[in-house]
Amino acid sequence: MRVSGGESKGRKIKPPKHGGVRPTSDKVREALFSILGGRVDDALFLELFAGTGAVGIEALSRGAARVVFVDSSVKSTRLISENLEALGYRDRAAVVAKDVLQFLKKTASELGPFDIVFVDPPYHEKVGMEAMDLLGSEDEEYLSPDALVVFEHFKKYPAPEEIGRLAKKKDYTYGDTVVSVYRLLEKEEGA
């Protein structure tokens, strides 16, 4: 795996030696950052189910101000920390070894509001939609007003058009992978 753009373009990201991690492919990562474009500059970026941290590292390389990486696996968070150290991004990142749902319920509001959230759960588990439900909840204020939430999922499990206060902007399909981009619904006048 390599960083595909920005100041660290071409530098290697150490891959996982443990199983159960499905890194976002280089092709999908490159397409994702093409979609996000200049929105990454100076953004507060959150990567949920971070795995290798490749997406958040790519965001740092492309100018994100800070990235918060969240994964329940200690092995994954250790690997992310090693990669951040090797690439010189440790001072612009926070690595949280915590269950994603617990992080969203108890910690995210302290570290946000986030401008971009990348959600890449295990493909065949319902935890991804549970995380999206929390992100779309009216009760939480960890998204900036113009935030984008990017949900990577398996093609056979389409993402809904709306999830709470999140509305799907567009789907992008790459083989069996779909990247659904959401933004916050406009608040009604007087609400």
> Structural domain boundaries of the chain?
26-184
Question: 148-175 in b/e burial notation, b at 16+ Cβ within 10 A?
Answer: bbbbbbeeeeebeeebbbbebeeebebe
Per-residue pLDDT band at 11 (split at 50, 70, 90): confident
Determine contact, residues 135/123, Cβ cutoff 8 Å.
Answer: no
The rounded distance, in Å, linking the Cα atoms of 24 and 27 is 8
CA atoms in the 13 A half-sphere facing the CB of 186: 3
Question: 9-33 in b/e burial notation, b at 16+ Cβ within 10 A?
Answer: eeeebeebeeeebbbbeeebbebbb
Give the percent of the chain with pLDDT over 70: 94
Phi, psi of 34 (to 5 degrees): -70, -40
- Mean pLDDT, to the nearest integer, of 46-57? 94
pLDDT at 191: 39
CA-nearest of 76, 150, 141, 89 to 118 is 150
pLDDT at 39: 94
The rounded distance, in Å, linking the Cα atoms of 34 and 36 is 6
- Mean pLDDT, to the nearest integer, of 160-189? 88
Q: Which residues contact 31 (CB under 8 A, 6 or more apart)?
A: 172, 174, 179
Determine contact, residues 87/50, Cβ cutoff 8 Å.
Answer: no
Determine contact, residues 72/98, Cβ cutoff 8 Å.
Answer: yes
Q: What is the mean pLDDT of the chain?
A: 88
Does position 156 have pLDDT exceeding 70, yes or no? yes
pLDDT at 2: 78
Backbone torsion region of residue 34, taken as left when φ is above 0, otherwise alpha when ψ lies between -120 and 50, otherwise beta = alpha
The rounded distance, in Å, linking the Cα atoms of 114 and 18 is 30
What is the per-residue pLDDT across 97-141, written as a single tens digit (0 to 9) for each? 999 999 999 999 899 899 999 999 987 778 999 999 999 987 778
| Domain 26-184, second-level architecture | 3-Layer(aba) Sandwich (3.40)
